[in-house]
Structure 1
Amino acid sequence: MSTGSGLALYDVTVRHHGPLGPITAVDGVSLDVPRGTTVGLVGESGSGKSTLARAVVGLDPPCAGRITVGGREYGGRRVADRRRLGQQVQLVFQDPDTALDPRMTVRQSIAESAGAFVRLDRRGREQRVGGLLELVGLDARCADRLPRQLSGGQRQRVAVARALAVDPAVLIADEVTSALDMSVRAALLTMLRELQRRMGFAMLFISHDLAAVRHVSDAVAVMYLGRIVEIAATENLLRGPRHPYTRTLLSAVPNLHAGRHPAGEPLLVGEVPDPASPPTGCRFHPRCPVGPDRHPGRDVCAVRDPQLDAAGRPHRAACHFPYGADDRPLQTGSFPSDANGDRTPRTSEDRPS
């Protein structure tokens, strides 16, 4: 795995203390997000996506593994370490209503962030606030408003401006569009992609919305019960998923032309197992449509834990019986195209240096 100058995770594990003992919320996750690219992280609620995000920004420090930003490792619970990490990695939360202080104006919120690591005089703060508001497409008159005087989309843009005020190397967007309507959501996604092109930060985009993930991501990682089960370039994964879990996730995407569920594709049934006592073998096997419950000859799934394919392969899946390249791709009809109609995936070569 190449670290580039972005974000790299090596076998990161995060545990919480539950009433019956430790709970492993993130279990040995390795992930690479090079500078100037976006990796989408998808999975059901409870899969560990947000816990992983909190680990990266130091809110839930990992109990094992390493996290590097720009090739430099950040870890531990010391205030100095967390402060240095905060200058490099910023998190935009799902709900701007709770992320923004309701008693602070937009100017105060952004200025507080801008002055966290760099000493600015009054004129410097005003210029920085004005520049950031312009950067996220907000009128300068918004600076003196309180969060309650803004729309949901405007509040989320303020949250993005506040995160970018320290010029981070990595931006983590955790379900940032889930509370927005469709038109505002599309505008925010386009803005994030344009900001990344201009500023070059690495972005980990966490979402349950596969259409949004496709719109902004160069690669997609699928997470299930604390582990990455599949990762590939966005278009490769969405058109030819290899892991049964990914395939069932995609089959749940509404198809505008053929009803809600593509004919012949398996539905995802049951709930995510308790992370305090995960299933033996493959963690997905009790719910797997091609697992041992339906194919008795595949008992290995209940006994041996599958690992991701070797690093360096373009399409990696942790499955004993993955779908092959000849399987019929899912026909999902709700993914938006880019503004210019181009639906081909973007790579790091398409980005400015």
Structure 2
Amino acid sequence: MSAGLALHDVTVRHQGTLGAVTAVDGVSLEVPDGTTVGLVGESGSGKSSLARAVVGLADSFSGQITVGGRQFGGRGAAARRRLGQRVQLVFQDPDTALDPRMTVRQTLSEATGAFVRLGRRDREQRIGALLELVGLDAPCADRLPAQLSGGQRQRVAVARALAVDPAVLIADEVTSALDVSVRAAILTMLRDLQRRMGFAMLFISHDLAAVRSVSDVIAVMYLGRLVEVAPTEDLLRGPRHPYTRTLLASVPDLRAVGRPAGEPLLAGEVPDPAAPPSGCRFHPRCPVGPNRRPERGICVTLDPQPDAAGRPHRAACHFPPTAEDRPPPARNAHPDGSGDRAPRTAGELPS
């Protein structure tokens, strides 16, 4: 299976008031055609900065971005235009992503004519086909965004992204601004569209339940770096990085190997990306790191490297969790580890 999207050693820097800040630091990742990689992590981990680099909107980046076997480079308007023909981004909030003064027809007409000249009849047919793809009725074409529901607006945003038949679709928190009742329908739509069209999808979200439902592989990001990458069910059953364990433990429905519900999950705040910790960036907050086990001082001095990129499950940790690192079951926990709490339909990471 060919790689729809391949990132190699991608680094993104933003210019701040006190100098450059590295938001993404040496990320390498592949998203093969027809598959979805879910990218998770706390706010500030660099997920959206990585997405902006892929579509050519990052302030400054280095590394290689390959789409459909073709390498893209440069940050000018011409480079963004070339990338836009192959990669499209669906933003978090459809209220701000769509022009409130343009009807759905005008929005989709502009998108369909962005790279290919179409006659009026062909353009109208294309608009009708796009509306059908995303499950919208023909009358929606003449409505303004304010006349649509939140779910309908997000469907329009997806249709606009698909208008150029992209090889890669980046979905950046596309369900976080929607009502819970609408999220499942949007996720189902994305899965169906991918099966029909075969694009590669990078799905960025705080919602671990949503990530699980659409992703073939999950990549966990912390402070600009990938700390673990694995097939979805492998990662949920046996996370190999302490950070991944704490994230999964925050969601009762997805808790696999991790801390029981009700116990503190993550100590402290995310460090300043302008001055990341030495060694392992997670060590100041690690529940099994040098703060609790002084003999693990290597975590403070030596940056752990991830396992070989060719391995399906790889993690960047000097001391992958073992049975002795796992705390005892929660009090009154059921045999399956679910505890007394009622399950939640979705779980979101700390923001």
TM over 0.5: yes
Instruction: Specify the alignment match of 1:119 in structure 2.
Output: 117
Letter in 2 for 1:113: A
Instruction: Specify the alignment match of 2:39 in structure 1.
Output: 41
Instruction: Specify the alignment match of 1:231 in structure 2.
Output: 229
Structure 1 residue 206, shift from structure 2 partner: 0.0
**Unpaired runs of at least 5, structure 1:** 337-353
Q: Distance in 2 between matches of 1:184 and 1:256?
A: 21
Deviation digits for residues 44-86 of structure 1, max 9, x if unmatched?
0000000000000000065321000011111102322211100
Q: Is the CA contact 2:14–2:59 (under 8 Å) kept in the aligned structure 1?
A: no
Instruction: Specify the alignment match of 1:196 in structure 2.
Output: 194
Q: Distance in 2 between matches of 1:103 and 1:56?
A: 29
Q: Residues 143 and 325 (structure 1 numbering): CA distance in 2 closer, same or farther, change over 3 Å?
A: farther
Q: Are residue 292 (structure 1) and residue 290 (structure 2) matched?
A: yes
Please state whether the residue corresponding to 2:218 is helix, strand or coil: strand
Q: Is the CA contact 2:3–2:69 (under 8 Å) kept in the aligned structure 1?
A: yes
Q: Residues 256 and 316 (structure 1 numbering): CA distance in 2 closer, same or farther, change over 3 Å?
A: closer
Structure 1 residue 334, shift from structure 2 partner: 4.2
Q: Is the CA contact 1:255–1:262 (under 8 Å) kept in the aligned structure 2?
A: no
Letter in 2 for 1:181: D
Deviation digits for residues 191-210 of structure 1, max 9, x if unmatched?
00000000000000000000
Number of aligned residue pairs: give it: 331
Q: Distance in 1 between matches of 2:131 and 2:323?
A: 46
Structure 1 residue 331, shift from structure 2 partner: 4.8
Deviation digits for residues 126-182 of structure 1, max 9, x if unmatched?
100000000000010000000000000000000000000000000000000001122
Q: Are residue 57 (structure 1) and residue 55 (structure 2) matched?
A: yes
* Residues 44-123 of structure 1 aligned to structure 2 (within 5 Å): 44-60=42-58, 62-123=60-121
* Residues 1-353 of structure 1 aligned to structure 2 (within 5 Å): 4-60=2-58, 62-255=60-253, 262-263=260-261, 267-324=265-322, 331=337, 333-334=343-344
Q: RMSD in angstroms over aligned alpha carbons? A: 2.1
Q: Is the CA contact 1:7–1:170 (under 8 Å) kept in the aligned structure 2?
A: yes
Q: Is the CA contact 1:157–1:188 (under 8 Å) kept in the aligned structure 2?
A: yes
Q: Is the CA contact 1:222–1:228 (under 8 Å) kept in the aligned structure 2?
A: yes
Q: Residues 19 and 160 (structure 1 numbering): CA distance in 2 closer, same or farther, change over 3 Å?
A: same
Structure 1 residue 240, shift from structure 2 partner: 1.1
Structure 1 residue 311, shift from structure 2 partner: 1.4
Q: Distance in 1 between matches of 2:166 and 2:59?
A: 19
With 202-211 and 17-26 compared, the bigger mean Cα shift is at 17-26
**Unpaired runs of at least 5, structure 2:** 330-335, 347-351
Instruction: Specify the alignment match of 1:342 in structure 2.
Output: none
Deviation digits for residues 108-141 of structure 1, max 9, x if unmatched?
0011001101101111111000000000000100
Q: Distance in 1 between matches of 2:173 and 2:22?
A: 22
Q: Is the CA contact 1:240–1:327 (under 8 Å) kept in the aligned structure 2?
A: no
Q: Is the CA contact 1:68–1:74 (under 8 Å) kept in the aligned structure 2?
A: yes
Instruction: Specify the alignment match of 2:349 in structure 1.
Output: none
Q: Distance in 2 between matches of 1:15 and 1:276?
A: 10
Q: Distance in 1 between matches of 2:137 and 2:325?
A: 50
Q: Distance in 2 between matches of 1:325 and 1:192?
A: 38
Q: Residues 221 and 265 (structure 1 numbering): CA distance in 2 closer, same or farther, change over 3 Å?
A: farther
TM-score, structure 1 normalization:
0.90
Q: Is the CA contact 2:250–2:261 (under 8 Å) kept in the aligned structure 1?
A: no
Q: Is the CA contact 1:11–1:29 (under 8 Å) kept in the aligned structure 2?
A: yes
Structure 1 residue 239, shift from structure 2 partner: 1.5
Q: Residues 185 and 249 (structure 1 numbering): CA distance in 2 closer, same or farther, change over 3 Å?
A: same
Q: Distance in 1 between matches of 2:344 and 2:298?
A: 36
Structure 1 residue 269, shift from structure 2 partner: 2.0
Q: Is the CA contact 1:37–1:203 (under 8 Å) kept in the aligned structure 2?
A: yes
Please state whether the residue corresponding to 1:166 is helix, strand or coil: coil
Detail structure 1 runs of 4+ shifted over 3 Å in the superposition: 254-257, 263-266, 324-336
With 264-273 and 154-163 compared, the bigger mean Cα shift is at 264-273
With 270-279 and 323-332 compared, the bigger mean Cα shift is at 323-332
Structure 1 residue 246, shift from structure 2 partner: 0.5
Q: Residues 8 and 82 (structure 1 numbering): CA distance in 2 closer, same or farther, change over 3 Å?
A: same
Letter in 2 for 1:51: S
Q: Residues 266 and 93 (structure 1 numbering): CA distance in 2 closer, same or farther, change over 3 Å?
A: same
Q: Distance in 2 between matches of 1:326 and 1:171?
A: 41
Letter in 2 for 1:58: G
Please state whether the residue corresponding to 1:117 is helix, strand or coil: coil
Q: Distance in 2 between matches of 1:288 and 1:326?
A: 15
